[in-house]
Chain A
Amino acid sequence: MSPSCGNGEEVPIPSKRGEKGFRPLDKSQVASLWTERFGISEEAFQGYRFFAKAQSIWVCSDFPLPALRYESVGMRMMSLKDWPWKPTTSALQIFGRHAKKNVVHLSEAEARAFMAGSSLCLEADCQLGYVVVFYRGEVLGCGLYSRGKLVSQIPKDRRVESCQG
């Protein structure tokens, strides 16, 4: 199954379950997804290369990869496993600062709860789906926004139960 962009269209990147190698992708293929969802221009992706493996897309510095057998290449940028495609918190912390839409800015108390992995009740000017979550101009990570509720997508091993002020 090919995941959707979130608006019903299919992601133009075929995903192959069990794919073993890292398959190079055209930069514009990846950039167009992020432009559509987050309003991030293709220029933000200059200096990077993109690869597909299994049902994920990976981003790496723009350097010719030596012919080796890789366990990972750069970082996992997005998952195509489910609908809609999901950006990783690590990738949002690099590219999310360029986002112009589907962003949520939190107060201090909300940011603490978000980083602890809690869901928040709030109204935001966003489409349903994954959003870039900010606090004081810095990207915290990925959230899932749906009808007045923001669900933290901070990975369990990176959650902070009690942030020091």
Chain B
Amino acid sequence: MVPPLVLDPQPGELVLDLCASPGSKTTQISQQMRNRGLVVANEPSLSRISALRANCERLGAVNVAITRYDGRRFPSMLFDRALVDVPCSGEGRARIDPGIWKRSSKRRSLDLQPLQAGLLSRAVDLTRPGGIIVYSTCTYAPEENEMVAEKVLDRSRLERISLPGLRSSPGLQDWEGRDLDGELERCARYYPHQNDTGGFFVAKLRKW
């Protein structure tokens, strides 16, 4: 999966996965770290923790510790890197669940935005200066993507994303007549027709 590749965690680091269940990205991060260091995998929902735990155990991820906090109020400490793969409207999954189009709307995206922005903001708080934060969704809605990333540009700067063999489009710089921060062009939008995948959005931020 792309967000852990962009996060690029290193063996021996302390890494936060703020919205971890069911654990596909958590276990990928664990593997990238060669089972060394520590991944703190946070999941607020008790009912989703069993799947997270089962996947970590099945894949032999012994460097994962699971917590159950509201990510917006995760206790203060400093991580080397943080992944914030937030709850989203899931428009990028429409190829496997066409019903998503009926459920998605601008209203729904705007309703999700405060939660997404709160999670990203807390992840920036929790990352050491110079550390990396990756924000990702599986939706196209700018209200859930660029307009969320834009809210932390006073505390971090966006870095360009380039993964060999994977085509992407730049982040939007304006939406519905409103100019967005020009730096948002460094975000990456992945559309299904580009790589024959689901659609998703990734922003890589480095904390000042």
Contacts and interface: CB of A to CB of B under 8 A. Distances in A.
Given A61-B38, A66-B40, A68-B75, A73 B56 contact: no
Nearest to A47: B36
Contact of B64 (A69, A74, A76): A74
Nearest to B75: A68
Interface residues of A, number: 24
A93 interface: yes
A70 B49 CA distance: 11
Contact of A60 (B49, B60, B65, B67): B65
A71 B62 contact: no
A65 interface: yes
Given A74-B64, A74-B65, A61 B54 contact: no
Given A68-B75, A71-B67, A73-B65, A94 B60 contact: yes
Interface string B41-71: 0000000010001101110111111111100
B198 interface: no
A46 to B, nearest CB: 12
Contacts of B62: 48, 59-61, 74-75, 94
Contacts of A59: 62
Contact of A90 (B37, B49, B57): B57
B141 interface: no
B114 to A, nearest CB: 25
A61 B57 CA distance: 13
Interface in B78-118: none
A29 interface: no
Given A71-B53, A93-B60, A65 B66 contact: no
21 contacts: A47-B36, A48-B62, A59-B62, A60-B62, A61-B35, A63-B14, A63-B37, A63-B63, A65-B38, A66-B38, A67-B77, A68-B77, A71-B53, A71-B68, A72-B49, A74-B64, A74-B65, A75-B57, A88-B57, A93-B60, A157-B54
